Each structure stands twice: as C-alpha cells, then as structure tokens.
C-alpha cells in the first residue's frame, strides 16, 4: 500500500507535508516570475519630454489662468507632471446632432480650445511615456490636471522626447 492508515506516503512522508512543500515551491516560482526577467516598460530615464494637452471649450477666465503658466499637477494624485511652457488658443467648437441625423459644427461664443504644452523629465518605453512620479501618458489618454489658478481636463494631443 502506498498510503498507510496514518496518512503517510510509503510510511514516511505525510500528505500534509507534501501539500505544504508544493505550495512553497509554487509560491517561490510565482515570486521569481513576477520580479525577474526583462522589464520592457522602462527603456531609459531622465529624458526631457514635451507633452501637449488639448482642452476643449474653455471659458476666457480659465484660458487666462492657464496662460499664467507654472506647474501642472495630476488632479487626483496631486503629483507634479511638469511646467507649462506654451499655451495656444483657438475658437472652441463642438458637433451638434441635427434632427435629420447629420452633424453640424457649432462655434459657441466665448469658448476656446486650448493646447497646453508641458515639459518634464521622465521616462520613455515601449508602451509610452512616464512622468517622474511614474504616471503614464500616452497619445489620446485623458488627464485631469490642476495648476495654481485653474482645474481642467483634456487629452494628450502630442507627446515626444526633445533634445
């Protein structure tokens, strides 16, 4: 008989002992796989990165507040993203669904689309760009941000390494 009445394999090893050893081996293998190997996310760090956010249909007050410049921070985590280097403004617009199913572009009064350019030191990798606080930024991603004078949200319009 392989297992005797005391629950020991070949009369020497307990089934519970085997289960504990098996769990320990699987746990060690999982930890090894998780924390070893090549990391393909971060390629380099300390790079100078320029990111442009597009914010749609802002009021004049908010546009003027963004033009004051200063630091830009993630609204949720309060982490520093970078310094505003440029603010470009164009007429705001949005599309309205008409009764016939077509869309019409409308320019609302006193509303502006704003391109806020920010520079920061960060990291670039296969999947995109990361701020010094490890916040991921990729083209098309949305970001809610705050400055000393304004809170708003936009999308990453363009992002690239500079120099």
What burial letters (b/e) apply to 138-153, b meaning 16+ CB within 10 Å? eeeeebebbbeebebe
Both tokens of residue 110?
């006193």
DSSP 27-60: HHHHHHHHH-S---S--EEEEEEEEEEEEEEE-H
Which tens digit of pLDDT belongs to each residue from 12-30? 777 777 888 899 999 999 8
Which distant-in-sequence residues (6+ apart) come within 8 Å of 149 by Cβ?
A: 65, 66, 68, 70
The CA–CA distances, whole Å, from 21 to 10, 14, 146 equal 17, 11, 52
Average pLDDT over every residue of 125-135: 82
Percent of the chain with pLDDT over 70: 87
Which tens digit of pLDDT belongs to each residue from 62-91? 999 999 989 999 998 888 899 999 999 999
Mean pLDDT over all residues of the chain?
A: 85
Average pLDDT over every residue of 114-140: 87
* In the predicted structure, residue 54 carries a pLDDT above the cut 90: yes
**What confidence score (pLDDT) does residue 10 get?**
65
């Amino acid at each position: 008989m392989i297992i005797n009445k005391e629950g020991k394999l070949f009369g020497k090893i307990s089934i519970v002992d085997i289960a504990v050893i098996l769990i320990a081996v699987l746990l060690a293998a999982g930890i090894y796989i998780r924390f070893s190997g090549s990391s393909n996310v971060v390629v380099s760090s300390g790079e100078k990165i320029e990111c442009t956010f597009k914010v749609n249909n802002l009021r004049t007050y908010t546009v003027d507040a963004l033009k004051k410049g200063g630091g830009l921070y993630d609204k949720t985590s309060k982490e520093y993203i970078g310094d505003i280097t440029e603010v470009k403004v164009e007429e705001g617009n949005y599309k309205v669904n008409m009764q016939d199913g077509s869309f019409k572009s409308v320019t609302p009064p006193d509303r502006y689309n704003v391109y806020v350019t920010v520079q920061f030191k960060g990291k670039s990798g296969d999947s995109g760009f990361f701020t010094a606080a490890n916040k991921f930024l990729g083209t098309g991603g949305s970001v809610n941000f705050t400055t000393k004078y304004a809170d708003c949200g936009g999308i990453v319009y363009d992002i690239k390494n500079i120099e």
